[in-house]
Structure 1
Amino acid sequence: MLKIYGVYRSRASRTYWMALELGIEFESVPVVQGYALDDPLAPGARLNTRSPEFLKLNPNGHIPTIDDDGLVLGESIAINLYLASKHRGPLAAGSLQEEGMITMWSFWAVNEIEQHSIKIVQTYDNALDATPGGKETIAVASRLLKKPLGVLNDHLAEHQYLVGERFTVADLNLVEIIRYALSEKELFKAFPHVLKWVERCHDRDAFREMMAGRAAEG
């Protein structure tokens, strides 16, 4: 059985959503971020990214990590691409050309969007959004997102989804990264096609089930 190491309130959300979309059986092994604990190495501490037993599985100390019948993978985007390829169906590429496009958009999400969107969500998570430094961080990140969001908006003006006119792993990977920045409503007003696409992606049973898992974590 597929084991997913992580928690829903982390990048593991992408992998939980992916598994739910595919309808595959999986075991969730809760692993929290080491920085969230006062002493991640204390006796009796929750399993976390600095726990020796987890580091044996993933020496980089990152979640999500999966163990799929002995195949251990880290990196959420790589995990999702692997799961789509293994289980096939509409979320996977239907041709070599689609595979190239799915890979391109997935890497684009990391290189063009995540480095900025993550700064926004981390500023809010650390309750710094009302501070001068936090406001500046959000403003800079939002400004740097305008160009890639414009590229995406132009693509979605002509297409319902990123690849093949259907929801694929590329949409899932990208929309989960964009979710980090959705707090900035003024930013997204300029990109109506992106917002409509986000709504389509979020109007899926598997997404709602994943978000329920996040809510249950408190």
Structure 2
Amino acid sequence: MLTLYGVYRSRASRPLWLLGELGLEFRHVPVIQAYRLADHAAADAPLNTASAEFVAINPLGQIPCLDDDGLVLTESLAITLYLARKQGGPLAPADLAEEAQMTQWALFAATAVEGPAVEMLYIFADGGDATPEGQAAIAIACEKLRRPLARLQAHLAAQAHLVGDRFTVADVNTAECVRYAQSHPSLLAEFPAVKAWLEACQARPAFQAMMAGRMAEPA
């Protein structure tokens, strides 16, 4: 059986959302990030990314991690692409060209969107937007995001989804990176097609179920 390691409040949100979309049975092992614990080595500490039991599975000590009968994958976007391809159906690539496009969007999201979007999210979460330094850092992150968001805007202004004019794993992967930019609503408002697409993705029952699990976990 598929085993997914990781808590909802991590990049495990991506495979958890996709698993919900695919309706696949799996075992969920909620490994928490060690940095979130006062003492990750304490005798009563929950299973975490520094636990010897987990490091034996993923030496990087990072989540998520997927074990499919001995095949271990440790990158969230690789996990989602693998699961979609394994299951087949409308969320998976229909041919080699679609597979290339889905890989391209995953790499685009990870390299062009996620970094500055996460940086901006943390600044807002820490109240840094109230300081001149924080505002300057947010402005820099916004400038880094405007080009990739403009790329998405042009694509989504012409079609409802990223690949094949249907909802696919490419939408899951990219939406979960763009979600971090929702910390800055006025930035997303500059890209109405992106905003509408993201809201449509997040209205899906599988996303709502994933977010319910996320909200049920301690922050």
What TM-score do you get using the length of structure 1 for normalisation? 0.96
1:98 alignment partner in structure 2: 98
Shift of 1:38: 1.6
Q: Is 1:66 aligned to 2:62, yes or no? A: no
Q: Distance in 2 between matches of 1:208 and 1:11?
A: 16
1:151 alignment partner in structure 2: 151
Q: Which amino acid aligns with 1:4?
A: L
Pair 1:116–1:41, CA change in 2 (3 A):
same
- The alignment-based identity, stated in percent, is 51
Shift of 1:134: 2.8
Find the residue that maps to 2:44 and give its secondary structure.
Answer: coil
1:130 alignment partner in structure 2: 130
Shift of 1:125: 3.7
Pair 1:141–1:201, CA change in 2 (3 A):
same
Q: Is 1:192 aligned to 2:192, yes or no? A: yes
2:171 alignment partner in structure 1: 171
Shift of 1:115: 1.1
Q: Is 1:21 aligned to 2:21, yes or no? A: yes
Residue correspondence of structure 1 range 38-53 to structure 2 within 5 A: 38-53=38-53
Shift of 1:127: 4.2
Q: Distance in 1 between matches of 2:207 and 2:88?
A: 19
Structure 2 gap ranges (5+): none
Shift of 1:71: 1.4
1:113-135: CA deviations, max 9, x gaps? 01111112222344434333333
Instruction: Name whichever of 42-51 and 135-144 sits farther off.
Output: 135-144
CA contact (8 A) 2:12 2:76 kept: yes
Shift of 1:26: 1.3
Q: Which amino acid aligns with 2:150?
A: G
Pair 1:40–1:128, CA change in 2 (3 A):
farther
Pair 1:126–1:50, CA change in 2 (3 A):
farther
1:140 alignment partner in structure 2: 140
Pair 1:57–1:127, CA change in 2 (3 A):
farther
1:34 alignment partner in structure 2: 34
Pair 1:47–1:124, CA change in 2 (3 A):
farther
Pair 1:138–1:83, CA change in 2 (3 A):
same
Q: Which amino acid aligns with 1:30?
A: P
CA contact (8 A) 2:5 2:64 kept: yes
Deviation beyond 6 Å, 4+ runs, structure 1: none
Find the residue that maps to 1:94 and give its secondary structure.
Answer: coil
Pair 1:187–1:97, CA change in 2 (3 A):
same
1:104-162: CA deviations, max 9, x gaps? 11111111101111112222344434333333322211121011100110011111100
Q: Distance in 1 between matches of 2:159 and 2:81?
A: 21
CA contact (8 A) 2:124 2:183 kept: no
CA contact (8 A) 2:93 2:99 kept: yes
Matched length: 218
Shift of 1:51: 1.0
RMSD over aligned Cα atoms: 1.2
Q: Distance in 2 between matches of 1:160 and 1:124?
A: 30
Q: Distance in 1 between matches of 2:135 and 2:4?
A: 35
Structure 1 gap ranges (5+): none
Q: Distance in 2 between matches of 1:13 and 1:72?
A: 18
Find the residue that maps to 1:57 and give its secondary structure.
Answer: coil
Find the residue that maps to 2:39 and give its secondary structure.
Answer: coil
